[in-house]
C-alpha cells in the first residue's frame, strides 16, 4: 500500500520520499511504483517519457532521517498498534514540528497513535483503499486531539491528488470496513451453515451489482487481514461482530487468499477438498443446523450497521452512501445501502431484520433508529421520506 500511495501522490505531480526499514525494501517499493506506471503505458494511458518524468518525483530512502523536511508523512506499516505507536514516536522525533503524521490504518485508533507523540493535534488517519491507484475514496479520520486545521489540510491534500475524501468520526473500523465486514462475515456464515455454496453466494451478490463476490473479495484482501479487522470490530462492538469460525479456521490452516495461492478459492491448481473438509469440520463443531439463504442476509447486515453508524454521527447519510459506492463498489444505480433501504421500504427492512434476529441470531437486532422511522412514517421512497427526502409519496 505504501508504494501504491507513493504512485498516487507522484501521479498528481507531488514529490514523494518512499522509506522503509532498509534501502533494499525501499527500492522494492520504487519497483512497484514503476510497475503501476508501466501498466498505464501498456494500456496507452501515458507515454514512456511521461513515465520517466513521474519516476523522477519518487525517491527511496532507508529510515526516517530523510523526512526532516517533509510536510506530510503517510504511514503504511502492518496493522499492529504497538508497532505503529513505536513508529509514530520515531517519526515525531525525526520530522519537523509542523509536519502532519497520517496513518493508513484500516481499523486502529488514531487517538492512540496521537498519544504516542508530542503532536497529537497533527496526527490523523488517512485511509486509502486497495488498490490505491484505482479506488477514488479516502477516509479522513481525526483523533480526539486532532486540530481542525490538520483535518482541513489533509482534506485539501486528498482533493489535490484526485481522491474523494470523506471525514469520518473515529470508531473501530471507521466507516467502510465497519459496514463491509459484517457483509463479508455473513457470507462466511452462510457457507459455514450450508445455506448456499461458495459460488452461488458470489454469483448472487454479483447479480445484485457488486463488482466481485464476497469470497473473491476476502481472498483479495487476505483472510488474515480480514480476520484481524473482524477481531478488532468484535472487541469494540461485541457479539454482533463475532468472526465466523470458518474464517478463523482457514487462517489457521494457512489459506490466506490470493497471496498464498489458496483461500476460499484455489489459485495454485490444487483441489478444493481441503476447503470442503474444513467447512464440514467447522459446521460439525459449531452444531448449527442448515440455515436459509437469502442475499438480504448479507445486504441487511450492512444496512443495519450503516444505520447504527448514522445514529452515532460517524458520518452523514450522504457520506455513508458515497463511501460505500466509492470504497466497495456498492452498485451506483442503488446509490448505497441507505438509499437501498429507502427503496426496499424501511418497514420492510425492519420486518426482515426482526425475522433474521429470531431465526439466525441477535446480530440482526434492528438499529433503534429503524423502529423510530417506521413509527413516524419515514418508510422510504414510497412515502417520500426515509433516510433521504424524495419528491413526495408515490
Annotated catalytic sites, by residue? 139
The neighbour count for residue 132, using CB atoms within 10 Å, is 22
DSSP β-bridge partners for residue 61: 19
Rg (CA), the chain: 22
Three-state DSSP at 266 gives strand
What the block records as the C-alpha cell of 349 is: 427492512
Residues 108/79, Cβ–Cβ less than 8 Å:
yes
To 10 degrees, what angle do helices 295-311 and 317-328 make?
A: 140
Query: How far is residue 3's CA from residue 130's CA, in Å, rounded to a whole number?
Result: 11
Could you give the C-alpha distances from 173 to 176, 214, 230, 255, 264, in angstroms and in order?
A: 7, 18, 9, 23, 23
Query: How far is residue 376's CA from residue 101's CA, in Å, rounded to a whole number?
Result: 45
Place of cell 474523494: 164
Residues 169/139, Cβ–Cβ less than 8 Å:
no
Nearest to 11 by CA among 155, 161, 136: 161
Place of cell 433474521: 356
What the block records as the C-alpha cell of 62 is: 532507508
Residues 169/161, Cβ–Cβ less than 8 Å:
no
Nearest to 105 by CA among 121, 129, 133, 132: 129
* Residue 295 phi, psi dihedral angles, 5° rounding: -55, -30
The neighbour count for residue 270, using CB atoms within 10 Å, is 11
Residues 220/256, Cβ–Cβ less than 8 Å:
no
Instruction: Using DSSP bridges, classify how beta strands 164-167 and 137-142 pair: parallel, antiparallel or unpaired.
Output: parallel
Amino acid at each position: 500500500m505504501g508504494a501504491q500511495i507513493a504512485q498516487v501522490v507522484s501521479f498528481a505531480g507531488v514529490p514523494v520520499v518512499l522509506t522503509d526499514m532498509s534501502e533494499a525494501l525501499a527500492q522494492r517499493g520504487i519497483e512497484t511504483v514503476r510497475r503501476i506506471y508501466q501498466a498505464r503505458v501498456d494500456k496507452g494511458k501515458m507515454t514512456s517519457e511521461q513515465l520517466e518524468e513521474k519516476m523522477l518525483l519518487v525517491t527511496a530512502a532507508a529510515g526516517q532521517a530523510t523526512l526532516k523536511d517533509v510536510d506530510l508523512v503517510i504511514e503504511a506499516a502492518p496493522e499492529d498498534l504497538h508497532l505503529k505507536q513505536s513508529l509514530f514516536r520515531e517519526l515525531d522525533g525525526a520530522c519537523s514540528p509542523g509536519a502532519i503524521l497520517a496513518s493508513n490504518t484500516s481499523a486502529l485508533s488514531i487517538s492512540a497513535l496521537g498519544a504516542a507523540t508530542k503532536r497529537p493535534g497533527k496526527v490523523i488517519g488517512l485511509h486509502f483503499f486497495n488498490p490505491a491507484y484505482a479506488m477514488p475514496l479516502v477516509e479522513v479520520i481525526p483523533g480526539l486531539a486532532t486540530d481542525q486545521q490538520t483535518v482541513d489540510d489533509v482534506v485539501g491534500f486528498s482533493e489535490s491528488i484526485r481522491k474523494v475524501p470523506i471525514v469520518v468520526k473515529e470508531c473501530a473500523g471507521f466507516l467502510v470496513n465497519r459496514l463491509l465486514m459484517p457483509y463479508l462475515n455473513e457470507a462466511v456464515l452462510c457457507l459455514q451453515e450450508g445455506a448456499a455454496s461458495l459460488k452461488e453466494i458470489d454469483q448472487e451478490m454479483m447479480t445484485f451489482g457488486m463488482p466481485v463476490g464476497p469470497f473473491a473479495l476476502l481472498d483479495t484482501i487476505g483472510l488474515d487481514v480480514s480476520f484481524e479487522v473482524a477481531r478488532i470490530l468484535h472487541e469494540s462492538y461485541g457479539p454482533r461482530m463475532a468472526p465466523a469460525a470458518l474464517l478463523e479456521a482457514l487462517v489457521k490452516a494457512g489459506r490466506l487468499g490470493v497471496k498464498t495461492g489458496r483461500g476460499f478459492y484455489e489459485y495454485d491448481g490444487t483441489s478444493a477438498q481441503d476447503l470442503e473438509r474444513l467447512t464440514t469440520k467447522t459446521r460439525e463443531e459449531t452444531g448449527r443446523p442448515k440455515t436459509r439463504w437469502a442475499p438480504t442476509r448479507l445486504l441487511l447486515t450492512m444496512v443495519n450497521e450503516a444505520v447504527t453508524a448514522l445514529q452515532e454521527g460517524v458520518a452523514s447519510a450522504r457520506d455513508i452512501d458515497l463511501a460505500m459506492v466509492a470504497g466497495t463498489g456498492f452498485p451506483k444505480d442503488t446509490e448505497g445501502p441507505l438509499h437501498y433501504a429507502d427503496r426496499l421500504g424501511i418497514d420492510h427492512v425492519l420486518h426482515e431484520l426482526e425475522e433474521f434476529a429470531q431465526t439466525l441470531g441477535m446480530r440482526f437486532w434492528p438499529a433503534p433508529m429503524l423502529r423510530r422511522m417506521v413509527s413516524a412514517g419515514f418508510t422510504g421512497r414510497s412515502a417520500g421520506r426515509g433516510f433521504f427526502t424524495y419528491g413526495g409519496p408515490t
